[in-house]
Amino acid sequence: MISRRDFLQASMATTAIYGASGFGKWSRLAAQQSLTQDKLLEFDTFGNVSLIHITDIHGQLKPIYFREPEVNLGVGGAKGNVPHITGADFRRLYGIDDGSASAYALSYDDFGALAKSYGRMGGLDRISTVINAIRADRPDALLLDGGDTWHGSYTCFQTEGQDMVNAMNSLRPDAMTFHWEFTLGTEKMQEHIASLPFAALGANIYDSEWDEPSDLVEPYKFFERGGVKIAVIGQAFPYMPIANPRWKFPEFSFGIREQRMAEMVDEVRAKGAELVVLLSHNGFDVDKKMAGNIKGIDVILSGHTHDALPEPVLVGETIIVASGSNGKFISRVDLDVREGRMMGFRHKLIPIFSDVIEADKAVTAVVDEQRAPYLDQMSEVIGQTDSLLYRRGNFNGTWDDLILDALIEEREADIALSPGVRWGPSLLPGSDITREDIFGVTSMTYGEAYRTEMTGEFLNIVLEDVGDNLFNPDPYLQQGGDMVRVGGMSFSFDISKKQGSRVSNMTFLKTGEAIDPAKTYVVAGWASVNEGTQGPQIWDVVESYIKRKGTVVVEPRQSVEILGT
Amino acid sequence: MNLSRRQTLALGGAAVTVTLLPISFAQAATDDAAAIIAEFTGGAAVGEGDIELTAPEIAENGNTVPMKMAAPGAASIMLVATGNPTPRVMVAHFGASAESRLSTRIRLAGTQDVIAVAKLADGSFIQSSKSVKVTIGGCGG
């Protein structure tokens, strides 16, 4: 069997692109217990262009814990390939030692114990230090934000994204694309975008009425760096009006629009681009397919699916870089661009270990200024957890199990549904749960917790529908989230089957009986994409539940049997 | 001159003669896609060729899904939604000076294939199809 490393080298030998990744270095450093800022940032400046990629921060201004997924299954061509490799398999693939800092940052096992050794990750002030260090090497490095930035925290909710706009501006990005930002609503988006001192990009952001490119953003922007003419093309999340409530931004249409992207690549090449960078919120598997179908993109900076990959993935002559989420990592990509083409690259996924990397005090001040008006409210302790609370995983996570329990008890429901989003920091066993922690996993502009009735048949349709958004073998039909989380009911799910036959054995846990297609069940849930959804905000439901329990215990559950892997 | 697509569309509209034929509900409801296409082609074979059907991979709103059809030199283009209760959506006839391209929006009852069939000036037929998914939505990461 050809290993991934052999494959990477083999493909590079055939394409005249050569590359290197700085990943191995911090992996070894960690094993030697000699993690220092200088060593984390060590990088032999290469070529003539540097790109800095950060994506999917989800409003996390301060350092957090974030456990990577245990279950992240790929189907079709993605089966068994990164990013669908987790835990020990992932560590083996990249030569990561168990218990090392890399193991903690990039995989899931022993998370609670390792978190105590290696501490929180991220924080915009630490990220700023790393960006400043890269700019010291290469003053004209491009800083590109892949979006999902103005969403996901208490302050972000209260200020409608203004906290993140202010804090990110202090890092001086050069361009950005979007996803959850649009859930702030059209008017707020227009206001924020008009205020940005950098480019707002999205070649696939269209005017929904005329089905033509929207004038809210630009499709691409040219930069001249290191004597190289660089085109950065933006691609927003394609399925926003489906995955998120389109009534909040009815003026806009999105979609993959592959033909449009091919036209944009041709257009920027015709205008003299020597390097074409796609700043993408497609999700990793969609980016892989797009890189295969459209020639002429040199680098895809991939966001949305929250994958952190220690090395770029090569598709033809395109390198795809995935930089994780929640501020845990940034990627530095140095490129050698000569004679109008990319001749080589050097890459490093830089982990933001917050206890190792010093804070940039100027940015700490900006961050604290955003938080100050809300500090009392959000730092209030609501309860404690005896369990590790995390979200990532295709089918469940303990944070979601807690939310489902809260929905069933507080809303007196038979069955609960919770959206399979991939954002939300983790909490270690023995921690206080603050209001800020609850907002970290629930904050959104459509958080109303509904209570309704559904037949068993309709529940099955919902599970099959969401399941196909995740496990359709065609990446262009995937929306990039995880499976809807279900409380009060167990089921089997066969990822190898087609829509309509993946879900079986639906069992009502209250009685142990099979779910009756004709029977009506009381269902509580939140984050409905339908306009006019009524109910209390989900964070209030969860707060009231935790307050009542005092200390919560949520051990990982086996209520979903996964088949066909 | 720098024309936006909106302006181009408006200009193009003046030169193009497009007729949308209303379809009789009672008749079409029982038709299936193959029979409808056979009726349009008079049973002639339908080949591949220079016909483009642009539709989203997943509909943002199944009630109004944008469709674009283009077949240079076509005299008429038919659009069929194979999974709709009334599969025959429309037939457009183009005048001699027209570009034989058209944008519209249609309603889709569920995930299905849509097919565009063009009748060329020489009386031959070509087609292109595209699968469009209609989903409940929600839960995007």
Instruction: Delineate the domains of chain B, giving CATH numbers in brackets.
Output: 17-132 (2.60.40.2470)
pLDDT over 60 at A28, yes or no: no
pLDDT for residue A82? 96
Instruction: Identify the CA nearest to A274 among candidates A222, A212, A320, A239.
Output: A222
Contact A243 B140 (CB under 8 A): yes
Of A179, A423, A481, the CB nearest to B139: A481
What confidence tier does A24 reach under pLDDT thresholds 50, 70, 90? Answer: low
For residues A252 and A38, the model is more confident at: A252
- Helix residue ranges, H only, A411-526: 435-442, 456-471
Contact B49, B126 (CB under 8 A): yes
**Chain A residues interacting with chain B (CB cutoff of 8 angstroms):** 179, 208, 210-213, 237, 239-244, 246, 253-256, 259, 304-306, 419-423, 461-462, 465-466, 468-469, 476-477, 479-482, 484, 499, 527-529
> Residue B58: beta bridge partners?
B133
Residue A338: half-sphere exposure toward Cβ, Cα within 13 Å: 9
CA distance A469 to A467: 5
Please state the CATH superfamily assignment of the domain spanning residues A379-563 in this structure: 5'-Nucleotidase, C-terminal domain (3.90.780.10)
pLDDT for residue A33? 58
pLDDT for residue A555? 87
> Residue A75: beta bridge partners?
none
pLDDT digits (tens, 9 = 90+) for A322-332: 999 999 999 99
DSSP assignment of A503-531, as one string?
EEEEEETTTTEEPPTTSEEEEEEE---ST
Query: Which of A469, A471, A474, A486 should one mutate to test binding to chain B, selecting the residue with the greatest count of B CBs within 10 A?
Result: A469
For range B36-53, the mean pLDDT: 95
pLDDT digits (tens, 9 = 90+) for A272-328: 999 999 999 999 999 999 999 999 999 999 999 999 999 999 999 999 999 999 999
What confidence tier does B31 reach under pLDDT thresholds 50, 70, 90? Answer: low
Contact A503, A514 (CB under 8 A): no
Q: What percentage of residues in chain A have a pLDDT greater than 70?
A: 94
User: Between residues 81 and 140 of chain B, which touch chain A (CB distance below 8 Å)?
Assistant: 103, 111, 133, 135-140
Residues in A closer than 8 angstroms to B66, CB to CB, are 211, 253
For range A74-81, the mean pLDDT: 94
What confidence tier does A26 reach under pLDDT thresholds 50, 70, 90? Answer: low
Of A243, A259, A420, the CB nearest to B137: A243
pLDDT for residue B18? 37
Residues in A closer than 8 angstroms to B60, CB to CB, are 208, 239, 241-242, 246, 253-255
Closest chain B residue by Cα to residue A180: B141
pLDDT over 80 at A461, yes or no: yes
Of A243, A254, A304, the CB nearest to B138: A243
Instruction: Identify the CA nearest to B100 among candidates B132, B68, B129.
Output: B68
Kindly report which listed range (A4-13, A227-236, A303-312, A535-544) carries the lowest average pLDDT score.
Answer: A4-13
A206: three-class secondary structure by DSSP? strand
Dig out the tokens for A494 from the structure: 């066969």
What confidence tier does A15 reach under pLDDT thresholds 50, 70, 90? Answer: very low
Terminal Cα-to-Cα distance of chain A (whole angstroms): 20
Which residues have C-beta within 8 Å of that of residue B47, sequence separation ≥ 6? B124, B125, B126, B127
Of A210, A239, A254, the CB nearest to B6: A210
**CATH among 3.60.21.10, 3.10.20.30, 3.30.300.30, 1.10.3720.10 for A4-369:** 3.60.21.10
What confidence tier does A176 reach under pLDDT thresholds 50, 70, 90? Answer: very high
B42 touches chain A (CB under 8 A): no
What confidence tier does A495 reach under pLDDT thresholds 50, 70, 90? Answer: very high
Is the pTM value of this prediction over 0.90? yes
Q: Name the phi and psi angles at A464, rounded to 5.
A: -65, -40
pLDDT for residue A25? 54
Shortest Cα distance, chain B CAs vs residue A43, angstroms: 33
CA distance A251 to B72: 31
**Average pLDDT score over chain A:** 94
Contact A557, A401 (CB under 8 A): yes
Structure-token match 């309860």, residue found: A383
For range B102-121, the mean pLDDT: 95
Contact A421 B140 (CB under 8 A): yes
CA distance A21 to A17: 13
Size of interface A-B (CB pairs under 8 A): 89
pLDDT over 60 at A110, yes or no: yes
Instruction: Identify the CA nearest to A47 among candidates A335, A361, A322.
Output: A335
For range A88-114, the mean pLDDT: 95
Contact B141 A462 (CB under 8 A): no
Conformation bin of residue A95: beta by default, left when phi > 0, alpha when psi is -120 to 50: left
Residues in A closer than 8 angstroms to B59, CB to CB, are 242
Of A259, A477, A529, the CB nearest to B133: A477
CA distance A463 to A494: 12
Q: What percentage of residues in chain B have a pLDDT greater than 70?
A: 75
pLDDT for residue A506? 98
Shortest Cα distance, chain A CAs vs residue B26, angstroms: 30
Contact B141 A479 (CB under 8 A): yes
CA distance A285 to A423: 18
pLDDT for residue A556? 85
Sign of the CA dihedral with A132 first, then A133, A134, and A135 last? positive
Domains of chain A, by residue range, sit at 4-369, 379-563
On the question of a common fold for A4-369 and A379-563, the answer reads no
B32 touches chain A (CB under 8 A): no
pLDDT for residue A18? 59
For residues B82 and A9, the model is more confident at: B82
DSSP assignment of A214-246, as one string?
-SSSBSEEEEEETTEEEEEEEE--TTHHHHTTG
Contact A242 B140 (CB under 8 A): yes
- What angle is formed at CA A80 by the lines to CA A79 and CA A85, rounded to 5 degrees? 120
